[in-house]
Structure 1
């Protein structure tokens, strides 16, 4: 399994390098710069600058995640995300330090592919939101289910068991007859920057700008697990359809998991949602 997994990762890494090359060439054409006109300094500046997808209301930039933002993003997940995301709250993830550490380790791993997008407030230069996405293949999925995956932290293992339950109930590869898809792992805007359309614009960037580029590698599908009503409504407004519905309270009760008493039935609905670009 180790060598098979290594080969898959090397193959995906090669595809990402090729995608970066294609993106650079596209960017260069847009700027109408010929090879003869571009100096070495121009080239180095261009390839080291973070790619900007779009601007929003002249106040925010939507750009590809870069490593120098890592600590800032991890702080966002530690100080905000785990206290607000539904599954984290229902399972009181923040009360289990081992689970918190495991989750932050995974966040760092997920965004290492540099396929995630962040929102930057132009006036302060700070990150105010992120959507973490990764390229997932059927080969990696087969390897994941062929071996037992154990995580640190009781609370995080509960969340992962539920996610595995969803994957077993709904096979996205079979449903779409696809060998790869673009997966949304996390999607978050800081509380003080909400109700401005930033969250919707962030997901829209992935659908309209990133996903079309992934079609070069046979990936024309995006999917994610949406754990609250607001995120589900935004996803639906952008064209994502519900593929599978689960009631988290029912699943927890069936698995003898204790939950807080204040969870409403409406807030316990979790949806697997997806969107596929039609290819001519």
Structure 2
């Protein structure tokens, strides 16, 4: 129940079910997403994540249950839902013939917004793409293309954005670029519903994580709450070697800060990698 001290959730899902012929994909899904938070829907391929996002974005009708987005019923008020959201799919939907700036201007014009050029320039600056703005999108790296795709999704200032597997196929450095972009969205007040199959992505980004397995939410909580489901870790003082990710990010210049020392269950390590008390 919504009270004066507990505002209505940005997204509410209750008992959603969906089948395709004899295959039941969603089997009664329930969760709420707090406004201005990052909510990760974590699950393996085939768990039903994309199907649920398609229902919430009004692209697909549920067989049973109900869902509201920004207070609007996705079945009864699809037009209002579409005005409140933006959807970024698994693959960047940019026009590679156009430049980055031209892609943004095109979307702004399609949304009938004033000053599309100014909107494009502002988003290029916001997503660190100003220098590349005049280049064709076909020349962009995977991370740049995904950042452009998310920037295009923000035109019109939607209050809620759905990111369906946003880092699929990206290299480690590009993934970190997208993660930083998502964090900045939430800091700006945008509600983010993120679907992912990557455990580290959910751990890095989400305020709350729901695990979707075989069409059902089997756990829903903060990272700390989920970790409490397992026995406490055994504390040992060991020397920890850098991971391959540490080495890679250091060599390419993206992980110097994180590679100067690592963290173990027993405490922070010194620069030599040995645990300190």
Superposition TM-score tier, normalisation by shorter sequence:
under 0.3
Question: Which has the greater radius of gyration?
Answer: 2
Query: Quick check: which one's helix share is greater?
Result: 1
Larger RCO (CA within 8 A; separation ≥ 6): 2
